[in-house]
Chains A and B, each alone.
Chain A
Amino acid sequence: MTPSVLIGAWVAAGLTLFMFSFLYKDNPFFRFGEHLYVGISMGYTIVRIYYDVMVKSLYTPVAQEGKWWFLIAALLGLLILTRFIPKISWLSRISFAVIVGFGSGVAIPRIISSNILQQVQGTLKPLLGNAGQPLLGMAQFNALLILVGVITVLVYFFFSIEHKGPIKVAARIGIYFLMINFGAGFGYTVMARMSLLIGRFDDLILFASRDFGYASLVLLGLIAFGLFLWERRSSALSDPDQDRRAAGSDPHADG
């Protein structure tokens, strides 16, 4: 095993345990890990953007391939930075206008087509049946269920008429569909979070092996000892205040 892999394992195990220490309570280990994560991910992003955007997508095409029109995009990008200079901040609106105009022009027709028209088509098509398929099969039942769900949920969110009579019934059914959807979403979210936990535990188990110098176990012990010392120090610092309050000599006490 190379030293870099070994060091990487110790760092990974340590930082994972630092973050897990928050489950006990907020503490300096967690805050150190949190700040390090923010700093490193930002540093990594800046470096990658420098090479992938500034060098690869701007400097190389302009300086080596003579594609001078790339400078127009660069200029529009720079104009956004004028937001920091109040006197000329209006210039940034030019860039925002281009972004909003281009973004809307590209997105609106595609989104309408794929997220509305094709979804409506997909909702209705199975109900019409295909040649050779039974008229009352499981697919048709599912399609009917989806259709009822779509309509009743839309009725629930239709506030222009009062929800009473049949509209109230439909809206109520819509709520049940929404609840089932939220439940399914919650179940999937639990699964996702547990998967992340399993991923970290999997690594911690690997790093607890002899090959990695029992990194997870050693660091777990050190962090637990560190938390113990931190707790003792915290309680020692807070004790004089409590003593003063108990004796009625706290300067901030009432009276």
Chain B
Amino acid sequence: MRELAGKLLRLDRRVIFVLIALATLIPLLRPIGLPVRISPEVRQVYDYIESLPAGSVFLLSLDFDPASKPELYPMAVALLNHAFKRDLRVIGMTLLVTGTGMAEKVVSGVASEHGKQRGRDYAFLGYSPGGANVIISMGQELATAFPTDHYGERTADLPVLQGVNSLRQVNYVISLAAGTPGVESWYVYGKEKYGFELGGGVTAVIAPGLYPFLDTGQINGLIGGLRGAAEYETLIGMKGKAVAGMDAQSATHFIIIGLILICNLFYFLTRHTTIRSFGSPQDRPGSPREAGR
């Protein structure tokens, strides 16, 4: 048993890569259709958008770049579909320069699917330098932070922005973020001072750090990772890429949980003995040298 444990603990890591690849690929090719349970924090975002009357101002800040696209792009698509379906006035923007092209593509793409006209039904402001300072500037005067939109039109002349002089006139802001500047920046420099309601959509890596803001009511809802995006797609009845990825997500988690359990079991079975395949006590499973392999 210990011999087997030693062999498995020194298993070529590429075997694990193949296992994960298969666990991802098979459900994507042959979906199982596992149910998606809606969490309260995602429902709160949905309910708030549902509660907004037509013509309310909804600002979506796409604070991410292509590196976080698989998680946040489906969220953006779902939220924009919901907002356009509700006939909200949509303002798109980004605080990350490398995300500008992608943000423009998703905003204009979903808008055209709903037959919305740029400038009249929605605006894409693009990128403005300064990170969190842009939020402060928008809180004072929108046209100062963005004198023109992404396409060079004067923001003051856009019909969709009539009556929107600053963040004080925005009804709901959602930041889709993969780090800083992101949801926390929008709260610290925006909501606290200018009083709009704020929700967040984030990558799974930073989601745990935002739950304290959710518990205190500093943000009114949180969409976390691909799972959150899948929940939102289910809520609006538009099953897209996130729902499609959920089976694969579950399968890979199953494999990883299994590997963690097996490794821990074998670690405890072998920790008091030197396995033949390990040269010295420093090479035992769990030792720093072994961990570095």
Interface residue ranges, A against B (CB under 8 Å):
23-24, 41, 44-45, 48-49, 52-53, 56-57, 60-61, 106-107, 110-111, 113-115, 118-119, 121-123, 146, 181, 184-185, 188-192, 194-202, 205
Contact = CB atoms under 8 A, between A and B. Distances in A.
A144 B204 CA distance: 26
Contacts of B215: 122, 146
B204 A189 contact: yes
Contact of A45 (B24, B25, B97, B227): B97
B70 A191 contact: no
Contacts of B216: 118-119, 121-123
A118 B218 contact: yes
A197 B70 CA distance: 8
B100 interface: yes
A49 B132 CA distance: 17
Given A52-B129, A122-B215, A195 B204 contact: yes
A121 B129 CA distance: 34
Given A118-B218, A122-B212, A195-B71, A201 B97 contact: no
Contact of A190 (B17, B70, B129, B253): B253
Nearest to A121: B216
B83 interface: no
B2 to A, nearest CB: 28
B168 interface: no
A186 B37 CA distance: 22
The size bracket of the interface on B is: 35 or more
A181 B101 CA distance: 36
Interface in B64-107: 69-71, 97-98, 100-101
5 contacts: A23-B17, A57-B128, A184-B208, A190-B256, A201-B21
B106 to A, nearest CB: 14
A24 B15 CA distance: 10
Contacts of B71: 192, 195-196, 199
The A interface is mostly helix, strand or loop, or mixed, namely helix
Nearest to A48: B97
Nearest to B25: A201
B248 A198 contact: yes
Interface of B: 14, 17, 20-21, 24-25, 28-29, 69-71, 97-98, 100-101, 126-129, 132-133, 136, 147-148, 187-189, 192-193, 203-205, 207-208, 212, 215-218, 224-227, 241, 244-245, 248-249, 252-253, 256
Contacts of A188: 204-205, 207-208, 224-225
A52 B146 CA distance: 10
Nearest to B212: A119
Given A23-B14, A192-B225, A195-B249, A52 B28 contact: no
B126 A52 contact: yes
Given A113-B192, A195-B245, A60 B147 contact: yes
A52 B24 contact: no
Contacts of B70: 195-196, 198-200, 202
A119 to B, nearest CB: 6
A133 B244 CA distance: 40
A181 B208 contact: yes
Given A191-B227, A192-B203, A201-B28, A106 B98 contact: no
Given A199-B71, A199-B245, 6 more contacts: A44-B98, A192-B203, A194-B248, A196-B71, A198-B249, A199-B69
A110 B29 CA distance: 49
B97 A56 contact: no
B244 A202 contact: yes
B127 A48 contact: yes
Contacts of A191: 204, 225-227, 249, 253
A57 B246 CA distance: 43
Contacts of B203: 192, 195
A96 to B, nearest CB: 16
A194 B252 contact: yes
Contacts of B245: 195, 198-199, 202
Given A57-B128, A202-B244, A197 B204 contact: no
Given A44-B98, A122-B215, A197 B208 contact: no
B200 to A, nearest CB: 14
Nearest to A192: B204
A194 B24 contact: yes
Nearest to B256: A190
B253 A194 contact: yes
A115 B209 CA distance: 12
Contacts of A200: 70
Contacts of B129: 49, 52-53, 57
B225 to A, nearest CB: 5
Most chain B CB within a 10 A radius of its CB, from A44, A53, A181, A199:
A199
